[in-house]
Amino acid sequence: MAGSVVLKLILTLVLCTVQVLCAKKPAEVLRHSVTRYGYPVELHKVTTQDGYILSLVRIPGKSGKAPVLILHGLLSSSVDWTVQGPDKSISFIASDEGNDVWLGNVRGNTFSKEHKTLSSKESEFWHFSFHEIGLYDLPAMVDYIRSNTSSDTIHYVGHSQGGTVFLVMASMRPDYNRKFASVHLMAPAAYIYHATSPAVDFASRIDELEMFAKLTRSYEIGGRGPGSSMDLVYAGHKTGLVPTSLVLTNIWYLVGVHDSINRTVLGEILANTPAGCSVYQLLHYGQNYLAKSFQMYDYGPVRNIQRYGSKIPPEYPLQKVTAPIMLYYSAGDNFVPAEDVEELADQLPNVVHKHMIGLRKWNHIDYLFDGSAHRLYRMIVASLRNQSADGNSRK
Ligand SMILES: *[C@@H]1O[C@H](CO)[C@@H](O)[C@H](O)[C@H]1NC(C)=O
Ligand SMILES: *[C@@H]1O[C@H](CO)[C@@H](O)[C@H](O)[C@H]1NC(C)=O
Ligand SMILES: *[C@@H]1O[C@H](CO)[C@@H](O)[C@H](O)[C@H]1NC(C)=O
């Protein structure tokens, strides 16, 4: 008994030391995620209307082409778009084709935890869901890129929540639609009521989750840094104490079994993913799952009436999303199932293309980590070439 306690203490000490030694500044991590493969990089900071300071990573390309902004999903970061290296990651594939590539990081992830007046240690900082990301973060990034590159329009590629926030922005601030030459949404999380992942059951236990967050005053989920549980898993995996099979079993429990992740790359993924989010993002998805709707945050009847003028939160007005949209989805996705994306397509007025992934077991994270995802990326990048700057495809 005592021996095993001592052993555990020693292991924890060793792991913590590994973590501290390996801890790198966020800006260094971002820079390294691109320069390690020999590509040029620029880091940019963008401040939102409500004071959040976001990190944008640029892999500069030829001028004269519309820039492309690529945005990650929940708990992810820009690093996931580089982690498979050249020839395999969308960032480098797009860059090789001469595109001016911009990778976003939304508020609350490892790389966007600064604010003009708040510290991420204050609970105030975490009072946002994907709604605020769509309303403030995405417009700030879009305007910054357009101004910095003097481009009238940009291309957009988003995965999962990267799709959600596009739809929030384009429906709530419709003047943004004309700023996009083309929009590519991979498994956009709008309607999710056919989701079967155990993670959705968790997020839909709304009252318990909210109570727990308030009691413990911890509003950040899956955050990183020395001492965080995910950094322990990463260090444990790196030193061989946590076997790869155990990590994969846990991942597949959530997203469905699909043995498609390169084992070398897996170790790298764990270094920065998950990258943290606010509990309110999970709660908002949980609400939409239960309500079978794509709607604004539910604050309860009293505050809903003050805010929205109705007891039930309004749905996002998808008929206002007029930018040209391409949808990519899969039958094997248990977070954003094919039938929910089909329903979304029916609601959107300007879907120019729908692409169902051919692989039956292709799951929600294969868009990032599948060893053959480069085929999908090449298809998306090829279609950027065909979009002229005024948003019409040159046919
Ligand atoms: C773009 O941003 C960089 C970094 O802040 C700055 O040095 C450069 O002058 C900007 N270019 C334009 C055209 O705004
Ligand atoms: C897995 O990734 C490593 C490192 O990027 C690479 O050298 C190797 O060729 C990859 N393996 C396969 C089967 O693609
Ligand atoms: C792009 O245009 C070329 C020439 O018009 C065409 O052959 C190709 O299929 C198009 N590619 C995509 C992805 O739309």
Q: Which residues pair with 198 in a beta bridge?
A: none
CB 284 within 8 A of CB 132: no
Q: How far is the CA of 59 from the centre of ligand 1 (A)?
A: 14
The ranges of the chain with pLDDT < 50 are 1, 389-395
Query: Distance between CA atoms of 20 and 42, rounded to whole angstroms?
Result: 26
Residue 98 in contact with ligand 2 by CB distance below 6 A: no
pLDDT tens per residue across span 127-170: 999 999 999 999 999 999 999 999 999 999 999 999 999 999 99
5 burial (CB, 10 Å; 0-12 / 13-18 / 19+) is exposed
Query: Distance between CA atoms of 44 and 98, rounded to whole angstroms?
Result: 20
CB 225 within 8 A of CB 231: yes
- Neighbouring CB atoms inside 10 A of 32's CB total 14
Parallel/antiparallel/unpaired status of strands 114-115 and 154-159? unpaired
Residue nearest to atom 11 of ligand 3 (CA): 383
- Looking at the CA of 376, which ligand is closest? 3
Query: Distance between CA atoms of 185 and 169, rounded to whole angstroms?
Result: 14
Instruction: Specify the fold of 24-388.
Output: Rossmann fold (3.40.50)
Query: Which residues neighbour 40 within 8 Å (Cβ) at sequence distance 6 or greater?
Result: 34, 59, 60
Query: Distance between CA atoms of 77 and 71, rounded to whole angstroms?
Result: 8
- Neighbouring CB atoms inside 10 A of 41's CB total 19
Q: CA torsion sign, 338 to 284 to 77 to 97?
A: positive
Closest ligand 1 atom to 150 CA: 13
Q: How far is the CA of 160 from the centre of ligand 1 (A)?
A: 30
Query: Distance between CA atoms of 70 and 78, rounded to whole angstroms?
Result: 8
Give the tokens for residue 229: 């549980």
In this structure, the residues whose C-beta lies within 6 A of any atom of ligand 1 are 44, 148
Segment holding 54, helix H or strand E: strand 52-59
Query: Distance between CA atoms of 314 and 320, rounded to whole angstroms?
Result: 14
Catalytic residue among 95, 160, 182, 278: 160
Give the tokens for residue 8: 């555990």
Segment holding 277, helix H or strand E: strand 277-278
- Looking at the CA of 182, which ligand is closest? 3
CB 349 within 8 A of CB 120: no
Query: Distance between CA atoms of 43 and 57, rounded to whole angstroms?
Result: 5
Catalytic residue among 364, 366, 370, 374: 364
Farthest CA pair distance, the chain: 74
Give the tokens for residue 312: 């039930």
Listed by start position, the domains of the chain span: 24-388
Query: Distance between CA atoms of 228 and 81, rounded to whole angstroms?
Result: 23
Residue nearest to atom 12 of ligand 1 (CA): 148
Give the tokens for residue 108: 């609350």
SS3 257: coil
* Catalytic annotation present for 284: no
Q: In angstroms, what CA-CA distances link 360 with 193, 200, 323, 326, 354?
A: 20, 21, 29, 20, 16
Q: How far is the CA of 386 from the centre of ligand 3 (A)?
A: 6
Residue 262 in contact with ligand 2 by CB distance below 6 A: yes
Residue 382 in contact with ligand 3 by CB distance below 6 A: yes
Determine the residue type at 20: V
Query: Distance between CA atoms of 332 and 324, rounded to whole angstroms?
Result: 26
Parallel/antiparallel/unpaired status of strands 52-59 and 220-221? unpaired
Give the tokens for residue 190: 């709008």
Q: Which of 380, 383, 386, 395 to mutate to test the pocket of ligand 3 (most atoms within 8 A of CB)?
A: 386
Query: Distance between CA atoms of 59 and 61, rounded to whole angstroms?
Result: 6
Residue nearest to atom 11 of ligand 1 (CA): 148
Asked if residue 274 has a cis previous peptide bond (ω within 30° of 0), the answer is yes
Q: Which of 89, 264, 369, 372 to mutate to test the pocket of ligand 2 (most atoms within 8 A of CB)?
A: 264
Cα atoms found within 13 Å of the Cα of residue 290, Cβ hemisphere only = 15
pLDDT tens per residue across span 182-205: 999 999 999 999 999 998 888 778
Residue 352 in contact with ligand 3 by CB distance below 6 A: no
Q: In angstroms, what CA-CA distances link 257 with 39, 44, 97, 254, 334?
A: 34, 38, 33, 9, 11
* Catalytic annotation present for 364: yes
